[in-house]
Amino acid sequence: MAREIIMPKAGIDMTEGEIVKWLKKEGDPVEAGEIILEIMTDKTSMEIEAEESGILLKILRHDGETVPIAEVIGYIGEEGEEIVPEEPKVEEPVVQEEPLEKSLTRLEDSYNVIVIGGGPAGYVAAIRAAQHGAKVAIVEKNVFGGTCLNVGCIPTKTYLKNVEIIEGVMMAAERGIVFENTNFKIDMPKVVAHKNSVVRKLTSGVEALLRSNKVDIFKGVAKISKNKDVIVDDSKVIKGDKIILAGGSKVSQIDIPGIENPNILSSDQLLDVTELPETLAVIGGGVIGIEMAQAFSELGSKITVIEMMDRIVPGIDEEASDVLAANLKKKGVKILTSTKITEIKDNKGRVEVITDKGSIIADKALLSVGRRPDLEGIGDVEFELERGKIKVDKFMETSVKGIYAPGDINGIKMLAHVAFRMGEVAADNAVKGNHREIKLHSAPSVVYTLPEVAMVGLTENEAREKYDIRVGRFNFAANGRALASGESSGFVKVIADNKYGEILGVHIVGPAAAEIINQASLLMEMEITVDEVVKTIYGHPTYSEALFEACADVLGEAVHLPKKQK
């Protein structure tokens, strides 16, 4: 029998909801857990997932219509199946049940702050609150450290260090270091084991830090009850004055026929493969996809990157993206941009990715299309959401007073170092009242490829839309340290306001970009102008001199650049 799709009750006080948009048409196949429509109440918007797989047989209520809760809005079933409305159920006498909390184990002590999630935002918030003298509890369902320490920043950088070592060996001969034999092989189980040992040291270190700050640790899945208590594993109740919801994020999925193919791996899964794939298709040319593409390319896999936008890592400066793409192509990485995937098929045990430009057959495919907030901890509380992300104000407080949501869960800037700062701000405000605002204009972003790419502030195109600007640029090919190190690819670009010389953005492709960008962030945070930068004496020879020279070029005063012709 066809199954009903009903207007859900998305909050305690919800009586009706508006259908914003059906994401599927009648006759479309749907998978269990796939998002099929968006709804909105007077306080929040949310995405509705299909409870079962099948065909969307019928849409009864359409976009823009307001529907009472529990009313049938559509049907899912087998293709060609007849729709038979269910008979109305006879109302049973309502038996008053005891409140949920009475059947649970209530902990005696009450906390000043309860933190849900032990990732970068969560554990930093817990420690910060404890430093202020608060009694703090933290709940983590898996391992402390979150995405960054366990399956993100740290594991990928461990792999990329291998790339650095391999490239160093390859360039040794031209530097006069001649190995009798430069052949090597990759022991993937050992690669994975080393990565895991690094992760374990850091995650255990986080837990030790929490204990040293006298933060009480609870393991399990935490959810917030309607009374704003925190319930762990549906069995224990933790009471507190304030809650910091730092649920982090999870891997995003895309709606493509065949995406469930077992040879399609998330970045989490790829980092644990113990057999190197001979060929690897990377679906998504963002930061994670490009980092993993280079890591596995250097280990020996033949890589094809498939990106639907017109360039890889589209969030960075366009010129930086072009230089990065050119370097990857030189190293044998095939990059397909402006390419749309239409279907994925099994091809004799391998995966075939069908695009509007042809097919790519590979042993494995990496699905790398970003991450989305993990809202599991919301529980019974109705928050204001924006496109599936918890909306917060400048104090990191949600629409529900007393509950803060720092880190990936708010989707503002999904970076670990930003989550650290958001966690600090949330803790400060939770303990001492809302007084500290989040400021992110000087937060940098980094792509840890070789060469590294880093940026802070506005891109050149963004700056031109808002300001009258001057742009300075210095190539690492003219930097003594870069030439001596054999790392002369790339540049530093500085974008400054034409009137005052205020630095609006810095973009770096090249050696030590991830380190130099922190200096650029400091310049922006301190509102130091390019005129003030060039009064500073930089050490020589250093990679950082390229930043100095780019600032000087903004003023037309760069000594180590040919004179510009008027």
Measured CA to CA, the distance from residue 156 to residue 452 in angstroms comes to: 13
Report strand pairing: 136-140 vs 216-219.
parallel
pLDDT greater than 70 at residue 41: no
Least confident stretch, 123-132, 203-212, 489-498: 203-212
Tokens at residue 372, please?
């989305």
Amino acid identity of 494?
Answer: V
Q: Which residues touch 94 (CB under 8 Å, ≥6 apart)? A: none
Which residue, of 432, 463, 483, is where some domain finishes?
432
Dump strand ranges (E) for 81-208. Answer: 105-116, 136-140
Tokens at residue 322, please?
């072009």
Question: Helix (H, G, I), strand (E, B), or coil: what is residue 445?
Answer: strand
The pLDDT of 156-185, averaged and rounded, is 87
Contact 78, 207 (CB under 8 A): no
What DSSP line would sit under 474-529, residue for residue? EEGGG-HHHHHHT----EEEEEEETTT-BEEEEEEEETTHHHHHHHHHHHHHTT-B
Tell me: do 8 and 72 sit in the same domain: yes
The pLDDT of 6-14, averaged and rounded, is 62
Give the pLDDT band of residue 462 (cuts 50, 70, 90): very high
Tokens at residue 442, please?
């000087």
pLDDT of residue 85: 64
Closest CA to 425 of 389, 395, 403: 395
Tell me: do 232 and 269 sit in the same domain: no
191 inside domain? yes
pLDDT of residue 144: 87
**CATH number of the domain enclosing 280:** 3.50.50.60
Tell me: do 282 and 377 sit in the same domain: no
Phi and psi at 201, nearest 5°, equal -60, -45
Tell me: do 463 and 352 sit in the same domain: no
Q: For 220, left (φ over 0), alpha (ψ -120 to 50), or beta?
A: left
pLDDT of residue 154: 85
Higher pLDDT, 10 or 41: 41
pLDDT greater than 80 at residue 108: no
pLDDT greater than 80 at residue 103: no
> Domain residues for 214?
105-250+373-432
Tell me: do 139 and 243 sit in the same domain: yes
Bridge partners (DSSP) of residue 344 are 353
> Residue 53: how many CB atoms within 10 A of its CB?
13
* Residue 451: cis peptide before it, omega within 30 degrees of 0: yes
Closest CA to 495 of 530, 546, 527, 443: 530
The pLDDT of 121-145, averaged and rounded, is 94
The pLDDT of 287-309, averaged and rounded, is 94
Phi and psi at 475, nearest 5°, equal -85, 140
pLDDT of residue 463: 94
Q: Quick one: the chain helix, strand, coil %, rounded to 5?
A: 30, 30, 40
pLDDT of residue 195: 87
pLDDT digits (tens, 9 = 90+) for 239-287: 999 999 999 988 887 888 999 999 999 888 898 999 999 999 999 999 9
Q: Which residues touch 532 (CB under 8 Å, ≥6 apart)? A: none
Length of the chain: 566
pLDDT of residue 16: 77
Measured CA to CA, the distance from residue 50 to residue 463 in angstroms comes to: 43
The pLDDT of 329-355, averaged and rounded, is 95
pLDDT greater than 70 at residue 44: no
**CATH number of the domain enclosing 72:** 2.40.50.100
| Chain mean pLDDT for the chain | 89
Higher pLDDT, 370 or 10: 370
The pLDDT of 471-494, averaged and rounded, is 95
Domain count for the chain: 4
* Residue 493: CA count within 13 A, CB half-sphere: 25
Phi and psi at 239, nearest 5°, equal -105, 145
Tell me: do 235 and 111 sit in the same domain: yes
Give the pLDDT band of residue 92 (cuts 50, 70, 90): very low
pLDDT greater than 60 at residue 411: yes
Give the pLDDT band of residue 66 (cuts 50, 70, 90): confident
563 inside domain? no
pLDDT greater than 80 at residue 537: yes
Alpha helices (H) in 177-222, listed in sequence order: 188-212
Tell me: do 212 and 109 sit in the same domain: yes
Tell me: do 484 and 547 sit in the same domain: yes
pLDDT of residue 87: 47
Catalytic (active-site) positions: 540
pLDDT greater than 70 at residue 20: yes
For 12-62, the three-class secondary structure string (H helix, E strand, C coil) is CCCCEEEEEEECCCCCCEECCCCEEEEEECCCCEEEEECCCCEEEEEECCC
Q: What's this model's pTM, rounded to 2 decimal places?
A: 0.76
pLDDT of residue 163: 86
> Residue 281: how many CB atoms within 10 A of its CB?
30
